[in-house]
Structure 1
Amino acid sequence: MTNQQNKPVIQVRDLYKVFGKHPAKVMPMVKEGLAKDEVFAKTNHNVGLRSINLDIERGEIFVIMGLSGSGKSTLIRHFNRLIEPTEGKILVEDVDVMKLSPKELETFRRYKMSMVFQSFGLLPHHTVIDNVAYGLSIQGVDKATRNAKAHQWLETVGLKGYDDQYPAQLSGGQQQRVGLARALCTDAEILLMDEAFSALDPLIRSEMQDQLIELQKDLNKTIIFITHDLDEALRIGDRIAILKDGNLVQVGKPVDILLNPADDYVEAFVKDVNRPRALTVETVMRPPAHRLTADTIGEALKEMKRIPSNYAYYINEDGFQGVVCQEALEEAAKDDLKAPMDEFDTEGVEPVLPGASLESIIPETLEADFPIPVVDADGDLQGELSRTHLAGVLSDFYETEETQQSEKQ
């Protein structure tokens, strides 16, 4: 049971897709490494995907992104076999999707995966409640049960009271909320979202991103999200896969993509990203270097003398208490070695939360005499962020900004 839980929920192995009348005949040319344009010029066949290998973990938001024609929508449609591969294997919880019979595939689509489309995909002559309950009606769930569940999901996505409205009476953002509620209503474990928010205006799009992030905290579903927008990918993705011309260029956490682009293509993608706004403290903090946990000033001084620095973070059962300097501790020890550390006046360095953006903590970090402590909501010390480390992470970004400003002048 534990092994199954630790396994990737989706495994993609050596997946190829060639569009055209005779894809099998073109495959040797594709495997030789001919560029997409060359293959098309010689054969009139289009390479959609080339040798894709991916593991998607249970409960993560996995973002697949790239420019138009990169293969991202082609890839997501392989997961529920809306598109058949030319070669390759897709395992969903160890089930080979390519081997499913038509009836098994129908059951798989009804119960295992739900999909949210860019175009909303709502039934125009059905009410909102019937649209949301549609997947359950296909499953054969009785009307009272499916309507109760649909009503619950409408309330969750902020559309309580809209049950009897029709799609045409709703704004674009409201229609997309209906689409999201419909996908969630079937209780499918895996949610496929193909450019789901790209048709929305920026403000509504941002609200929908926030809502998805909040919902995911409770739902813990496996979400595969397609987008061409790197800002969106960085904001919602636990991990990001970047495609170019059907090739998988890089897979990694947002911080890896931003700070360690795999090639010039990815570097061009990330160069205009506002790095201080996109990165959080958690993504770049380091483990706290030195801690003091002694009960008395004398014991704390002994601990301090064993570490190579002249400062440390004082921790007690209530969590982080402040920064302690060796000089101040030595002065206090002259008066009373047995005095409790709880009465010692620590340096008042304000800690920050792991989820804070780097942009929001830059002033505090630059002004502080010590690395900024990072604590969680319970006050427990999680890491530290130094001025030097922050400067190293952001230097490339600010150099680019300065260069752009100079070029404008």
Structure 2
Amino acid sequence: MKTTSAAIDAARETTAMTSAQAAPANRYRWVILLVAFAAWVMSFLDRLAWGNVGLDVSKELGSPLSQLGIFVTSFYCGYVASNFLMGFVTDRIGARLTLTCALVPLGVATFLFGNVTSVTTGLILQCVMGLAAGADYAACIKLLASWFDSNRRGLALGILTTGPSIGIAVSNAVYPAFLRTHQWHDLYYLLGAVTICIGVACCLFLRNAPREVTVQSKSQRPSIRALLANRDLRLLSIAGFGANWATWGFAFWSNALMIKGQHMSAADAGQISMVFGIGAVCAKPLVGWITDRMGGKRRPGIIISLAAFAILFLVFGQISGKTLFLCIAPFLGAAAFVYAPLMAAMAAELVGPAATGSTIGAMNAFWQLGSVISPTVAGLVYSQTNSFTATLATLAIGPAIGAVCMTRAREAKSL
């Protein structure tokens, strides 16, 4: 009896010690989320500056207006390549070091872009910026997958993935006002300095994972062959490609389509796009939280969001009038973005913490191809048909295929 009693007391003491150790980690994960969110938003603020200064830079460099697009192309060439490669690097060296080594060079390249004096130098710096910025997504997802369990991961990823929407809102609100009183060079100097500071904060405050997750992950090794052989990851990759096809095809063309196809004013089209974005920002954390309450089941939410996305596109193409567009826009915005944190969480749970970086990096590189191709296809469809409805129907094919793929995919057996 004494032995049994001693064993019980020892077990209780171990449990108490584990709980005591877990409490600081539970609190510190919100610091991790805050720093990762700042890094993610900052990378978007850096890349979005070009949209506000492109015309001024073009005049100063003496380059034709037609060359403005090649700066964006140069950035995304580096960005897509980095997404794929740096995901594997993240799993090898850890998310903390990856984010530090991404943000500091990104800040330096951004600062140096403020001194650019030739198109060639500008293209090289934009490519370097893309290479640096492409490392942050996989690293941020890996951090949150390690620090947040499946009952909280959806909310955390939902908050993180509002970063692009926040970046767009902040850049549109702040950059024009800043440029009214400062030169475009000053904007890049400021962004570069702030980015470097956040990179230093990543080094100081981030930790790769709580101790218990680090111990559990040591035996796992990421493998390209294993990722390609995983049927569920392949289906998730195709679904993400289709979803991004529709999301960014619409994002690039929405205002122009409403102005030309529905004869709206630029102000009305902008207001509808703003409501579209608000729906996305609100929905991501909410749906992430809901799936957490469902025991970490992501697949049903992904299927519903993609199916709703395709259907709402078809509805959006049939209606007319500002009021109806404003009524549908927040729901379309929610469906157009809410799948992102759910797909990231599902992928992380399929492979485990040690392979999260490589998995997310490779998948996001493939997903971005949909973002690159769809604006061109949507533009061609509209130019050939002059039809708002036909263009949206073309974009709706992506999430429709994605929803079908997800009905065949399986989630991790143990969350």
For normalisation by structure 2, the TM-score amounts to 0.26
Structure ranking higher on relative contact order (CA contacts 8 Å, 6+ apart): 2
Please state which structure has a larger fraction of its residues in strand.
1
